[in-house]
């Protein structure tokens, strides 16, 4: 329950829960004030000749009130999750207020159109009430969309950011012991993948459309295998293929040495993720990389983009490994996931 409330705008929740109920109550009170002037039963559907379907007064009022509450809650509640974009939350708040008022207006127009009549079959929807009420509902909905402050409240991400700030204040070297890199193949490689897949798939799609689409999907997957996200901190080294799929996770204590090197992808089995005979590699191209020796005798190599980033990554891994070996351990509490 606590996590659910953290994901909601609790300040707006009171308005979302209460406003439709207040509008429904106001409609019911006004309906009972008009009761002496209304026929029995009331018309609930109209044609060009007048009322065509009928219901008792109590059913008209209570079902109408339920419609107001249900419509308001259904749309207004979409503005509560703080994870949604601010413009969307504002739109849903304005739309919910408009819909709630519009349903009440339509019901009120039906009642006013029957006031003073002995037979509901002679009634018509009061267009003046419907027009004035609809215009007011639109105006108030637009105003609500602009004035609603959909600011994100304190969240678990803020807690982690605060913990990180405190950890950096207590340990100034924490920032030096963390590095994030995105590495990918040269742009010419992606251009060649596109040419080699799009043109053939366009021709194949003429005869077999699904096969052309499949070729494009395979090309996109192949291109994703030439991108990786590298994270190194006091917890160790993590490599995520395409930024999503974890392929390497080496604790700091399992690293014995790390050094920058200029490698050839062919020496490690080619581009992409490779694992063979105790050696793992995530190389997006030949060139600057970091070679890591593990305490169990295995080794791995990861691309680093440039010589400078390779040197920085190797330096961070060397420091965090030395810290782990000396008993410092990973600073897990001050190292949020990113």
pLDDT digits (tens, 9 = 90+) for 59-105: 888 999 999 999 999 998 888 887 788 888 889 999 999 999 999 99
H-helix or E-strand spanning residue 103: helix 86-112
- Averaged pLDDT for residues 259-279: 83
pTM (2 d.p.): 0.48
Report d(CA 71, CA 75) in Å as an integer. 6
Torsion sign (Cα): 53, 59, 60, 66: negative
Q: Enumerate the domain spans of the chain.
A: 2-147, 158-185+226-330
How is 119-179 classified by DSSP, letter by letter?
A: -GGG----HHHHHHHHHHHHHHHHHHHHH--------HHHHHHHHHHHHHHH-GGGTTT-E
Q: Assign 6 a pLDDT band (cuts: 50, 70, 90).
A: low
pLDDT at 329 over 60: no
CATH fold of the domain at 158-185+226-330: PH-domain like (2.30.29)
């Amino acid at each position: 329950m606590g996590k659910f409330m953290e994901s909601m705008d609790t300040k707006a929740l009171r308005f979302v829960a209460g406003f439709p109920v207040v509008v429904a109550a106001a409609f019911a009170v006004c309906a009972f004030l008009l009761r002496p002037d209304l026929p029995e039963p009331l018309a609930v559907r109209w044609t060009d000749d007048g009322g065509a379907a009928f219901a008792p007064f109590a059913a008209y009022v209570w079902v109408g009130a339920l419609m107001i509450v249900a419509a308001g809650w259904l749309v207004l509640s979409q503005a509560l999750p703080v994870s949604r974009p601010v413009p969307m939350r504002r739109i849903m708040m304005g739309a919910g207020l408009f819909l709630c008022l519009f349903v009440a207006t339509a019901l009120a127009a039906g009642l006013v159109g029957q006031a003073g009549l002995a037979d509901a079959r002679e009634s018509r929807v009061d267009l003046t009430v419907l027009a004035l009420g609809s215009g007011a509902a639109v105006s108030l909905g637009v105003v609500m969309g602009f004035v609603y402050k959909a600011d994100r409240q304190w969240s678990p991400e803020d807690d982690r950011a605060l913990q990180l700030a405190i950890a950096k204040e207590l340990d100034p070297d924490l920032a030096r012991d963390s590095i994030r890199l995105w590495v990918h193949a040269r742009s010419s490689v992606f251009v060649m993948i596109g040419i080699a897949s799009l043109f053939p798939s366009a021709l194949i799609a003429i005869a077999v459309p699904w096969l052309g689409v499949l070729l494009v999907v395979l090309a996109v997957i192949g291109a994703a295998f030439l991108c990786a996200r590298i994270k190194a901190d006091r917890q160790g080294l993590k490599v995520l293929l395409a930024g999503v799929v974890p392929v390497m996770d080496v604790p700091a204590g399992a690293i014995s040495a790390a050094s920058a090197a200029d490698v050839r992808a062919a020496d490690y089995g080619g581009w992409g993720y490779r694992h063979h005979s105790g050696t793992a590699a995530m190389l997006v191209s030949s060139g600057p990389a970091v070679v890591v020796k593990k305490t169990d005798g295995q080794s791995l190599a990861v691309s680093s983009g440039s010589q400078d980033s390779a040197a920085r990554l190797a330096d961070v891994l060397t420091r965090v490994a030395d810290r782990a070996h000396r008993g410092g351990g990973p600073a897990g509490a001050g190292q949020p996931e990113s």
